[in-house]
Amino acid sequence: MQTSDNRTDVRPGRGSGWALTVLTLCSFTLGTGEIMIAGLLPGIASDADVSLSTAGLLVSSFALTVVLGGPVLALTTGRARRRRLLVTLMACYAVGNVLSALAPSFLPLAAGRIAAALAHSALMPLFFATAADIVPPERRGSAVARVSLGFSLAMIAGLPMGTALGQWLGWRATFWAVVLLTLAATLPVAALAPDSPAISAEEDRGRLGELRVLGDRRVRAVTGITALAAAASFTAYTYVTPLLTDTVGFDASTVTVLLLLFGVGGTLGNLVGGRLTDRSVLGAVSATVAALAAALLLLGVTAPLKVPAVAFLFLFGAAYYAVIPAVNTRLLDVASHQARTLALTVQSSAFNLGTALGGWLGGRIIAAGAGLRWLPVAGAAVAALALVLALVETAGERRRTAPAAPAAGPASAPRAAEQAVGR
C-alpha cells in the first residue's frame, strides 16, 4: 500500500505469523551472539593467552559499542531504505562473527566483536519496526513483544547451547553457529522489510528535537537506575562460568544446565516484574532492584555451598529480569510521546553501559587478586546504589503528585487528581 509520503510499505496481516517467527529468530540470533561470550571466556582466555579479566573486556567493548553506536545510527539512518539497511547490517553482523571465529589473537577477536556490536545496535529497532508494519495497528504491541521473545529464548536456550558447543568443539564453533544463523535469517527477513525509508523527510527533520528528552531529570534518573542495575548484574554474570566451576565446584558440563536454570529464572522474573509494574511502576522499580541486591549478596555469601548457590543463582536471574519491565515502563511514562523512540534507544545504551562497567569492575576485582566469590558481593553493592536512586526518585514523585493543601479549597481537587495520574 502507499503511505502519505509515497513510500511503499508491507501489507499488514498477510503471513504475519511466519513473519514474526522469522523476526523472533533474528532477535534470538542477536541475543545469543551478545550473551554467549559469558560461557566462552575461560576457553578464549586460554587460547588467546590473556588473563580472565582481559578476556572480560570483550563484554565491555561490545556493550560500549552499542552505547555509542545505537543513538548515532538511530539519528542518522532514518532516511535509508529499510531493506537495504537491514541486509547491510545483517552482513556486518555476520562478518564481525567471522572475524572473531578466525581471529589468531585477542585484538582481532575484539575487533570482530566491535563490528558485530555496531550492527547489533541498529538491527533491533529495525526488527521492531518491521514487526509493527506486518500486523494490523491493534496488534502491534503483541507483535513487538513476540520479537522481544527472541532475547528471552537466547538466555534460556542460546547461552546454554552456545556454551555446550564451545565445550564440545571449541569456542570458535559457537561464533560459526551464530554466523550460520545470521545468514539463514537474512534473506527471509529482508523479504519482509519494505523497500522504503523508515521515516519521512518531515519526521527526520524533527528528530533532533527529540534530544530535549535527555534533559528531563526523570529520564536521567531511570536510565541511571538501569545502568547501575546492569552493572551490578554483569559484575557477577560476566564471570559466572569460572565462578560456578572454580568457586562453587561444579564441572563444566553442569554449568550448561545451571545457565539454563538462570534463564528460566529470568523468564519467570520478567513475568513477575510485569505484574508488579502493573500495580505500581516506581514501587516495582524499588522492589525489583532490592531483590537484585539481596540475591547477589546471598550468592556471594553462599558461593562455596552448591545447593544454596544454585538457589540464589536462580533468584539472581529472576530478580534482574524483573527489573527490566519496571524500568522500561517508567521510561515510557516520563518520556514525551514524540521522543519515546530515542528515549528507548538511550535506555538500551544505559543497559549496555552498565554491562560494560560491570565487566570492567569484575575484571578489576579479579586482577586485584580477590576471589571470584567477591564478584556478586561487589554487584550487590552497586545494586544498593541503584536502590538508593530508586527510593529518592520515588520520594520525589510522591512529593510532586501529593494532593494540594486543604487551604487551597475544593477548586484544587481536579488539579491534584490530574497530577496523580502520572503515578
Collapse the DSSP code of 421 into the 3-class scheme (helix H, G, I; strand E, B; otherwise coil) and give the result.
coil
Q: Beta-carbon neighbour count of residue 46 at 10 Å?
A: 12
Q: How many CA atoms lie within 13 A of 420 on its CB side?
A: 9
The C-alpha cell at 33 is 551472539
The predicted pLDDT at position 351 comes to 83
The predicted pLDDT at position 316 comes to 94
Cα–Cα distance, 127 to 135 (Å, whole number): 13
Give which of 348, 332, 341, 321 is closest to 227, Cα–Cα: 348
Cα–Cα distance, 246 to 264 (Å, whole number): 23
Cα–Cα distance, 372 to 415 (Å, whole number): 54
The predicted pLDDT at position 9 comes to 46
Burial letters 250-272, b for 16+ CB under 10 A, else e: bebeebbebbbbbbebbbebbeb
Q: Phi/psi of residue 189, each to 5°?
A: -75, -30
The predicted pLDDT at position 13 comes to 46
73: confidence class by pLDDT, cuts 50, 70, 90? confident
72: confidence class by pLDDT, cuts 50, 70, 90? confident
Which is more confidently placed, 397 or 92?
Answer: 92
Q: How many CA atoms lie within 13 A of 48 on its CB side?
A: 28
pLDDT of 34 higher than 60: yes
Domains and CATH numbers, the chain: 16-200 (1.20.1250.20), 208-400 (1.20.1250.20)
- Give the number of residues written for the chain: 423
pLDDT digits (tens, 9 = 90+) for 236-254: 988 888 899 988 888 877 8
Give which of 202, 220, 225 is closest to 338, Cα–Cα: 202
pLDDT of 419 higher than 50: no
Q: Phi/psi of residue 339, each to 5°?
A: -110, 15
pLDDT digits (tens, 9 = 90+) for 179-204: 999 999 888 888 876 666 555 555 55
Average pLDDT of the chain to the nearest whole number = 80
pLDDT digits (tens, 9 = 90+) for 3-27: 333 333 444 444 577 888 888 889 8
77-81, 237-241, 245-249, 288-292: least confident range: 77-81
pLDDT digits (tens, 9 = 90+) for 367-403: 888 889 899 999 999 999 999 999 999 888 888 776 6
Which is more confidently placed, 322 or 331?
Answer: 322
Collapse the DSSP code of 136 into the 3-class scheme (helix H, G, I; strand E, B; otherwise coil) and give the result.
coil
The predicted pLDDT at position 4 comes to 37
Whole-prediction pTM: 0.70
The C-alpha cell at 32 is 545469543
For helices 140-153 and 252-279, the axis angle rounded to 10 degrees is: 150
